[in-house]
Structure 1
Amino acid sequence: MDNPVLSLSGATLSLRGNAGLVEILKGITLDVHRGESVGLVGPSGSGKSSLLMLMGGLEQATGGSVTALGHDLSAMSEDQLARLRRDHFGVVFQSFHLIPTMTALENVATPLELAGHRDAHARAADELAAVGLSDRAGHYPSQLSGGEQQRVALARAAAPRPDIVLADEPTGNLDSANGEAIVELLFGLQERHGTTLVLVTHAPDLAARCDRVITLHDGRIAPEETASEAAE
């Protein structure tokens, strides 16, 4: 198998709170390969979102190592991490994080413009069409439904053709119909572009769509199971 696009070895994450140092992740060792879809599941507080943040360099591991696309994330500056995310990652959160003063088209085009793409608006229009929102391109987030806002957020993540998409409860704020539409779009992106997909979810049916399911308990990885086993 090819070299992993994401590799964690003994990764730990500890944060200092009011009660002192709290261990959130405790020795995570995990490889994710190009084109894979991996679901992260487990009870609330088990460390799923924190693990996703480590993978994207949004949190720094306090021990062990985290490598993404051959880069040691702990050795990179904040500027270097930001460029790596801009050029190679798409991130989709439960909260949409759209810029309220920008239209849907402008929200999708902004990361492309920051990356220096001269055809940013044309590519943004194509991505909005891919998520069925061509007729809403000129609308502001406040004029869009929750499902439409999440589709804009997904189009924004997909527009740079990222190597890796990290999705944190992407259907958590949506009703079942809109949630299913977002799931189809996420896996469609993976299939069209060979994107590696890592998603955090509480939904068993969504996890079962993934190639692998990683279960976390109290900051540690439980024995792995395949998607078919998770569905049984």
Structure 2
Amino acid sequence: MSHSPTPPTIRLRGLDLTLTGPAGAVNILRGVDLTVDQGAAVGVVGPSGAGKSSLLMVIAGLQRPTAGAVTVAGHDLGAMDEDALARWRRAHVGVVFQGFHLIPTMTAEENVAVPLEFAGRRDAFDVARGQLEAVGLGHRLGHYPGQLSGGEQQRVALARAFAPGPRLLLADEPTGNLDGETGALVMDLLFRLHAEQNTTLMLITHDLALARRCDRTIRIEDGRLTDSGASRAAAE
């Protein structure tokens, strides 16, 4: 018996984003088309201000596009209101930022358990402990962010993002606040979790070597997207 192919995690068609500022309308994204298969890793590169983070925000349902269709994890984001988008994000999307965005008054274990508790998971703390052990922080469960190094805080953020088992992981310059050695360890961990959980990964980075570790590299410049195909064909 044949099985239907798994639908792509991300499908963007004719995506435009125009924002109005003091100087008038600014075209952030222009006619972006993109399809990303389930389980793939895509590196997104380009100069500052090119629209990389805006693209991530649209895919996460945190920014409404001006025009175009956005389908992520089988859902048409344009058809959902803000409450529905919040529920969808909680179930399907993990996000890791350059800043760790941990809650300072909560322990590492509590930080990881938060999204699971919001989702009504009774096993939230069991899952949180297991995920922290998976990132090598089983001995830091009761520590607060202020008691952790930058690398440890980003590992907690990774554990929090992966704990709900998202279909899509969005990472925006996740090593930007880390030194080179620590950043390399965090990225090794991110790629390992991505592979183990078959999570689709979109990684925004200024580091071309890091982007080349992905299956594909896409470049954004002046709001337009070019696909460099296999990551080995570097996006120079």
Q: Is the TM value for this pair above 0.5?
A: yes
Partner of 2:199: 195
Contact 2:51-2:223 within 8 A present in 1 as well: yes
Listed as ranges, the gaps of 5+ residues in structure 1 are none
Displacement over 3 Å in runs of 4+: none
Partner of 1:140: 144
Partner of 2:39: 35
The whole-number CA distance in structure 1 between the counterparts of 2:115 and 2:107 is 14
Once the two structures are TM-superposed, the CA of residue 3 in structure 1 deviates from its matched residue by 2.1
Q: How does 1:26-175 map to 2 (within 5 A)?
A: 26-175=30-179
Contact 2:228-2:235 within 8 A present in 1 as well: no
| TM-score when normalising by structure 2 | 0.95
2:233 alignment partner, SS class: helix
Contact 2:17-2:28 within 8 A present in 1 as well: yes
| TM-score when normalising by structure 1 | 0.97
The whole-number CA distance in structure 1 between the counterparts of 2:117 and 2:234 is 41
1:216 alignment partner, SS class: strand
- % same residue: 59
Provide the aligned C-alpha RMSD in A.
Answer: 1.2
Contact 1:201-1:207 within 8 A present in 2 as well: yes
Q: Aligned letter for 1:46?
A: A
Partner of 1:176: 180
Once the two structures are TM-superposed, the CA of residue 75 in structure 1 deviates from its matched residue by 1.5
The whole-number CA distance in structure 1 between the counterparts of 2:227 and 2:204 is 17
Q: Aligned letter for 2:216?
A: R
Once the two structures are TM-superposed, the CA of residue 16 in structure 1 deviates from its matched residue by 1.1
Match of 1:5 among 6, 9, 12: 9
Q: Aligned letter for 2:148?
A: L
The whole-number CA distance in structure 2 between the counterparts of 1:79 and 1:202 is 33
Q: Aligned letter for 1:67?
A: T
